[in-house]
Amino acid sequence: MTSMEPMDESVLPGKAGEVDQVGRTFTTDDAFDANADQYLAPGSTDAAIPKGTIDPVYEAKARVLNHAIQEIGMGWYQWQLFIVVGFGWANDNLWPIVTSLIFTPITNEFHPSRPPLLSLAQNIGLLAGAMFWGFGCDVFGRRHAFNLTLGVTAVFGLIAAASPNFATIGTFAALWSFGVGGNLPVDSAVFLEFLPGSHQYLLTVLSIDWAIAQVIATLIAWPLLGNLTCQETATTCTRAENMGWRYFVIAMGGISLIEFFVRVVFFTIFESPKYLMGKGLDEEAVKVVHEVARRNGKTSSLTLADLQACETGGSTQQTSAKAALKRKLSALNFSHVRALFASRKLAFSTSLIMLVWAFIGLGYPLYNAFLPYLQAIRGAKFGDGSTYLTYRNSLIIATLGIPGALLGGVLVEIPRFGRKGTLAVSTVLTGVFLYCSTTALTSEALLGWNCAFNFCSNVMYAVLYAYTPEIFPTKDRGTGNALTATSNRIFGIMAPIIAMFANLETSAPVYTSGALFIAAGCLVALLPFEPQGKASL
């Protein structure tokens, strides 16, 4: 094996029909960004990561590792990782759905003066979890965070079933949400850092687990909450008559515990090579790459000398623990945030997408948290407001989310429609169908409108999760994703606060939520960038 010399040029030209160094064929005259392992837009001459933005030694080593992962390709290890990472995507939707489904039986049993405080506790936990695990995985590593997020969720979820009062269940909802909040930030980092550039689309495909989780939750809730909880019309509700929600939380905690067990016992998660390299552990990073190659039935040409060669050429800065700490401290100067507002057009795009996430972050939980309650009180007017029918309908609604997530992946490739068109239309239709649900005069009509809402909202989320990182430059993509996620969580906290002052026996939460979705859809139409058919910078 020969040592790979670090590349001096960050952008390599390509002509139509030529094959690049990682086996991809140029379809048009364009440029390959060696720093980011991706193509630039046709005719572009600027690298995705300008020189001097990050430690040059770290940058050179990262490019060598990118090439090594691409050389290994997509194999058995990555496909196994695809499955266990899906557990994180599933839990990200599963537990907020749990809070929504147990909201009515908990309210009936404990009679809290402010029922929406349960949703508030959940959203505070999600925000804290996203911040702690997201930043923490850069400090104590991806591997431990990858496993612990599911473990924390499972343990506190199981304990929550024994809650004797409303304050206790609210506390445990915040604690299990603390684990849930770290799933996407950590799992997406783990997956991407082992994924060859040619297969990064699989990150979008993971959205199917998000939709399936909702179906699983409502499928289990239907018999347990439908038959073993107090009816909406009951005048009294004792613990013995209302055990269904406790069994349901135990079942959900058990699922998370099994997923945690599978991750720890049946799958070996290696520490990210880039994380190890950033800590100055080059030899361990090389060992991980070779082990992944071995599990894929391949060999890697990467050697320790390849990484050490990046430390020559006049640079004295190393990727030691001290240098890694300096990079972390230098990040406190908000250079990555400023970069997202460097030009008027980029600042407009960043601000707008943050606002879109904020509106959706307020609108979705405002409606979804009270969906079973709304179905029950509206169904009662139609003469079929039983708890059993309420959760049966929730299952039907959830099932429509699966084809919605798949359709989103197809629509984004339609010419002249693309990401923006799909996202704008699906977001507006989500709000429109919410308004339509208030016109229902029969239970069947109400169910139909709610199915249409969930179908469109899943199209919306599938596209939103793909579009958002595409419009951020590679070097600032993590910061951009953090800004949008923070906007989403902060406004999610506002949802139950607003609901506490709303009359839940009216359609006020629905009207507010619908208006927010329609406003978000209109804002999407104003976004300046359309990534369809273009390589991300």
Read off the pLDDT of residues 403-413 as tens digits, 9 standing for 90 and up. Answer: 887 787 777 77
- What Cα–Cα distance (Å) separates residue 478 from each residue in 166, 177, 464, 468, 482? 37, 22, 16, 11, 6
CATH of domain 334-537: 1.20.1250.20
> Which pLDDT band, with edges at 50, 70 and 90, does 315 fall under?
very low
The predicted structure's pLDDT at residue 164: 94
Residue 11 backbone phi and psi in degrees, to 5: -125, 120
SS3 at position 38: strand
Please state whether 141 falls in left (phi above 0), alpha (psi between -120 and 50) or beta.
left
Tokens of 355: 């606002």
pLDDT at 103 over 60: yes
For residues 301 and 293, give the distance between their C-alpha atoms in angstroms, rounded to a whole number: 10
pLDDT at 282 over 80: yes
Contact 458, 213 (CB under 8 A): no
Residue whose token pair is 């939460």:
509
- Residues of the chain with pLDDT > 70, as a percent, come to 74
pLDDT at 312 over 70: no
Q: How far, in whole angstroms, is CA 282 from its chain's centroid?
A: 30
Contact 173, 122 (CB under 8 A): yes
> Which pLDDT band, with edges at 50, 70 and 90, does 15 fall under?
very low
11 bridge partner residues: 33
Of residues 358, 326, 74, the one with CA closest to residue 198: 74
Query: Which range is least confidently modeled, 99-113, 125-139, 210-224, 471-485?
Result: 471-485
The predicted structure's pLDDT at residue 523: 94
13 bridge partner residues: 31
The predicted structure's pLDDT at residue 323: 54
Q: Please give the average per-residue pLDDT across 504-519, as a whole number.
A: 78
Best-predicted range by mean pLDDT among 83-87, 366-370, 434-438? 83-87
For residues 28 and 14, give the distance between their C-alpha atoms in angstroms, rounded to a whole number: 8
Tokens of 474: 């590679």
Which positions ≥6 away from 190 have C-beta within 8 Å?
81, 85, 142, 143, 146, 269, 272
Is 503 exposed, middle or buried, given 0-12, 13-18 or 19+ CB atoms closer than 10 A?
A: exposed
Which positions ≥6 away from 133 have C-beta within 8 Å?
145, 149, 181, 182, 183, 185, 186
Is the CA virtual torsion 326, 328, 330, 336 positive or negative? positive
Is 45 exposed, middle or buried, given 0-12, 13-18 or 19+ CB atoms closer than 10 A?
A: exposed
State which amino acid sits at residue 44. S
The predicted structure's pLDDT at residue 376: 57
32 bridge partner residues: 12, 39
- Mean of per-residue pLDDT scores for the chain: 76
For residues 386 and 229, give the distance between their C-alpha atoms in angstroms, rounded to a whole number: 11
The predicted structure's pLDDT at residue 163: 94
Helical residues (DSSP H) of 111-234, grouped into ranges: 117-136, 142-160, 166-180, 183-194, 202-205, 207-227
Contact 277, 307 (CB under 8 A): yes
pLDDT at 311 over 80: no
The predicted structure's pLDDT at residue 305: 85
The predicted structure's pLDDT at residue 381: 54
> Which pLDDT band, with edges at 50, 70 and 90, does 198 fall under?
low
- What Cα–Cα distance (Å) separates residue 366 from each residue in 123, 268, 320? 11, 39, 47
The predicted structure's pLDDT at residue 47: 30
Residue 246 backbone phi and psi in degrees, to 5: -70, -45
Tokens of 325: 């700490």
For residues 302 and 306, give the distance between their C-alpha atoms in angstroms, rounded to a whole number: 7
pLDDT at 279 over 90: no
The predicted structure's pLDDT at residue 183: 83
The predicted structure's pLDDT at residue 51: 44
The predicted structure's pLDDT at residue 175: 96
Residue 32 backbone phi and psi in degrees, to 5: -105, 125
pLDDT at 509 over 80: no
CB burial readout 7-28, b (16+ within 10 A) else e: eeebbeebeeeeeeebebebee
State which amino acid sits at residue 277. M
pLDDT at 402 over 90: no
Which positions ≥6 away from 181 have C-beta within 8 Å?
125, 126, 127, 128, 129, 130, 131, 132, 133, 489
Per-residue pLDDT tens for 330-377?
544 566 677 777 778 888 888 899 999 999 988 887 776 555 556 555
Residue whose token pair is 């989780």:
213
Residue 27 backbone phi and psi in degrees, to 5: -95, -25
Tokens of 401: 């989310």
For residues 118 and 121, give the distance between their C-alpha atoms in angstroms, rounded to a whole number: 5
Contact 388, 244 (CB under 8 A): no
Q: Where is pLDDT greater, at 27 or 155?
A: 155
For residues 58 and 277, give the distance between their C-alpha atoms in angstroms, rounded to a whole number: 8
> Which pLDDT band, with edges at 50, 70 and 90, does 519 fall under?
very high
> Which pLDDT band, with edges at 50, 70 and 90, does 256 fall under?
very high
Of residues 312, 296, 340, the one with CA closest to residue 482: 340
Could you give the residue range(s) of every CATH 1.20.1250.20 domain in the chain? Answer: 334-537
CB atoms within 10 A of CB 468: 21
Query: Which range is least confidently modeled, 78-92, 131-145, 316-330, 359-373?
Result: 316-330
> Which pLDDT band, with edges at 50, 70 and 90, does 49 fall under?
very low
pLDDT at 9 over 80: no
Query: Which range is least confidently modeled, 34-48, 96-110, 457-471?
Result: 34-48
The predicted structure's pLDDT at residue 441: 75
31 bridge partner residues: 13
The predicted structure's pLDDT at residue 141: 72
Per-residue pLDDT tens for 440-490?
777 788 888 888 988 998 888 878 877 777 777 545 566 677 778 788 888
Helical residues (DSSP H) of 273-343, grouped into ranges: 273-278, 282-295, 304-308, 321-330, 335-339
